[in-house]
């Protein structure tokens, strides 16, 4: 088996930069790029992914989308029907009022495992067959300002060799990527890639989707997961304030001083900020 290069395509700023640099000949071309769809990506990500897939295909880099389940539907089914589930890192409060966060199992289930399975399928390797160590250069879009994320690759199987082109070849930060994208592809805006219901969203990220269909989806989901599954016996919230997302006050202290936001946008929040 020869050596292959596979790009893990999250379709955010960093992995988009890698793919577009490869298209422009500023990085070697990966053999394939794989996007793992959780089913809960933002509309902007799906639109961007469709554009990237077409452009990469025209430049001889196949982009494959894989999907294993649906992050939101699977959990809602678990609440309603008691089916198997994995948890996303939602904020929780137990019956004694103790606050916490559920374990993050979603990345492994919906992102990492589907990509590994797809690589095996693409290599035509049967489930029980061994792949030689280092057979795959596995490109991941981590930039120089995210070095702490490198620890997450220590336990990868030996046949996957994690490689970080933005660090090892280009020495680029996220801002460098944004600058590169603005220079070479000024016509596109690359969305942040994360699930619309991800509890890791900062207030700024929630505000970015406020009023959109993605916001409505997140608000609805937040209300539907409140009780968790039968086994969890806890109250769940997407926002760390442990309030309904629909009525969470997303203003930052700067907003009070600088009045940078149109006030009508947060009227609803002002009225109900202390309820819930
Ligand atoms: S973006 Fe958030 S919710 Fe989605 S897979 Fe990653 S950690 Fe889980």
Give the pLDDT confidence of 22-35 residue by residue, as tens digits.
999 999 999 999 99
Nearest CA to ligand 1 atom 4: 195
Q: Are residues 65 and 135 in the same domain?
A: yes
Q: Are residues 243 and 161 in the same domain?
A: no
Total domains present in the chain: 2
Task: Report the C-alpha gap between 14 and 191 in whole angstroms.
Answer: 11
* 20-34, 122-136, 229-243, 253-267: the lowest-pLDDT one: 253-267
* Predicted confidence (pLDDT) per residue in 208-225, tens digit: 999 999 999 999 999 999
Q: Does residue 272 carry a pLDDT above 70?
A: no
Which class for 263: exposed (0-12), middle (13-18), buried (19 or more C-beta within 10 A)?
A: exposed
- CA 178 to ligand 1 center in whole angstroms: 22
CATH number of the domain to which 34 belongs: 3.40.50.620
CB 109 within 8 A of CB 127: no
Strands of 234-237's sheet in order across: 99-101, 91-94, 234-237
pLDDT band at 258 (very low <50, low <70, confident <90, very high): low
pLDDT band at 262 (very low <50, low <70, confident <90, very high): very low
In a domain, 253, yes or no: yes
Angle at 178 between CA 177 and CA 180, to 5 degrees: 60
Question: Hunting for tokens 């009022």 — which residue is that?
Answer: 97
Q: Does residue 134 carry a pLDDT above 70?
A: yes
Q: Which atom of ligand 1 is nearest to the CA of 107?
A: 5
Question: Strand pairing partners for 234?
Answer: 94
- CA 206 to ligand 1 center in whole angstroms: 14
Q: Are residues 114 and 214 in the same domain?
A: no
Angle at 207 between CA 201 and CA 209, to 5 degrees: 85
**Residue where a domain terminates, one of 184, 207, 223:** 184
Residue span of the structural domain in which 241 resides: 92-101+196-272
């Amino acid at each position: 088996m020869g050596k292959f290069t596979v790009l893990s395509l999250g379709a955010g700023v960093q992995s988009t930069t890698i793919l577009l640099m490869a298209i422009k000949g500023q990085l070697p071309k990966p053999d394939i790029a794989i996007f793992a769809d959780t089913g809960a990506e933002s509309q902007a990500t799906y639109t961007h992914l469709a554009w990237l897939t077409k452009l990469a295909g025209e430049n001889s880099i196949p982009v494959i989308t894989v999907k294993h389940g649906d992050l939101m539907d699977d959990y809602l089914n678990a609440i309603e029907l008691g089916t198997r589930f994995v948890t996303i890192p939602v904020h929780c409060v137990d019956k004694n009022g103790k606050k916490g966060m559920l374990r993050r199992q979603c990345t492994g289930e919906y992102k990492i495992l589907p990509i590994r399975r797809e690589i095996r399928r693409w290599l035509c390797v049967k489930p029980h067959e061994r792949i030689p160590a280092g057979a795959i250069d596995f490109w991941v879009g981590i930039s120089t300002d995210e070095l702490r994320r490198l620890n997450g690759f220590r336990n990868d199987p030996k046949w996957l060799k994690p490689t970080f082109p933005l660090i090892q070849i280009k020495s680029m930060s996220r801002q460098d990527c944004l600058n590169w994208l603005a220079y070479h592809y000024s016509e596109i805006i690359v969305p942040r890639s994360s699930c619309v219901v991800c509890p890791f969203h900062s207030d700024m990220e929630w505000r970015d989707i406020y009023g959109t269909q993605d916001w409505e989806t997140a608000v609805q989901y937040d209300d539907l997961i409140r009780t968790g599954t039968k086994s969890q016996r806890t109250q769940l919230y997407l926002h760390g304030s442990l309030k309904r997302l629909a009525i969470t006050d997303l203003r930052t202290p700067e907003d009070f001083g600088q009045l940078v936001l149109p006030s009508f946008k947060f009227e609803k929040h002002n009225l109900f900020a202390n309820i819930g």
